[in-house]
Amino acid sequence: MSVRIGDIAPDFEQDSTEGKIRFHDWAGGKWVVLFSHPKNFTPVCTTELGAVSKLKAEFDKRGVKALGLSVDQLTNHDKWADDIEQTQGARLNFPLIADADKSVSDKYGMIHPNASDTMTVRSVFIIDPNKKVRLTLTYPAATGRNFDEILRTIDSLQLTDKHSVATPADWQQGEDVIIVPSVTDEAAKEKFPQGWKALRPYLRVTPQPGK
Ligand code: BEZ
């Protein structure tokens, strides 16, 4: 099974480094980044978990909870946390799901059997406060993710939920945005009093609202 944008994120109950987690209750009304890594005690995964731990203040600022997952046993996760701290300079500060029976991985389609039938790929699901899946990413085992990009996509999702805008390629917080095509010029005059530049009738660029 796979989980796609617009779906309600499947609920589950599973063991984690912070006790049993019932996902929907644990998420509460927050944004969640649920991500899998293929295997504990492997090099790229060690750097990724350190990277997410270092970004805790950035996730907190955006009201986002991080939740990691692999198909390793729970005891294995605890030992590995020491290695992450010693090699990456950051103590694990979010729970890791120990999905040894693969029940969550299967529900979310995190195992791609033609890549590996024993480990997950590097999946990312960004889930909003209504439990709706808003973004998915899939990376192969040998390629570590860029978690600044994940923060950037959260900034875009949170901004575009509030205003009738979209964010262009490579957009960063504070930069100009695009007025969505469904907003007429007439309506845009009200919504975007600071005005816009129309590069084409369908490509109207305006300063980021609420900056
Ligand atoms: C890694 O994290 O380095 C890794 C994990 C699984 C397979 C290959 C590499």
Residues 42 and 81: their CA atoms lie apart, in Å, by 12
Q: What's the mean per-residue pLDDT of the chain?
A: 97
Instruction: Find out whether the beta carbon of 42 lies less than 6 Å from any atom of ligand 1.
Output: yes
Which of 37, 40, 42 for mutating ligand 1's site (highest number of atoms within 8 Å of CB)? 42
Residues 17 and 96: their CA atoms lie apart, in Å, by 5
Rg (CA), the chain: 19
| pLDDT over 80 (residue 177) | yes
Which domains, from first to last, does the chain contain?
13-145 (3.40.30.10), 163-206 (3.30.1020.10)
Ligand 1 atom at minimum distance from 47 CA: 2
With cut-offs at 50, 70 and 90, classify the pLDDT of residue 210: confident
For the stretch 179-203, pLDDT in tens is 999 999 999 999 999 999 999 999 9
Instruction: Find out whether the beta carbon of 44 lies less than 6 Å from any atom of ligand 1.
Output: yes
C-alpha of residue 64 to centroid of ligand 1, in Å: 26
With cut-offs at 50, 70 and 90, classify the pLDDT of residue 1: confident
pTM: 0.96
* pLDDT (average), residues 48-65: 98
Residues 15 and 100: their CA atoms lie apart, in Å, by 9
Token output for 3: 């989980």
- Which has more confidence, 75 or 13? 13
Q: What is the 3-state secondary structure (H, E, C) of 11-52?
A: CCEECEECECEEHHHHHCCCEEEEEECCCCCCHHHHHHHHHH
* pLDDT (average), residues 156-173: 97
For the stretch 84-99, pLDDT in tens is 999 999 999 999 999 9
Token output for 118: 């024993």
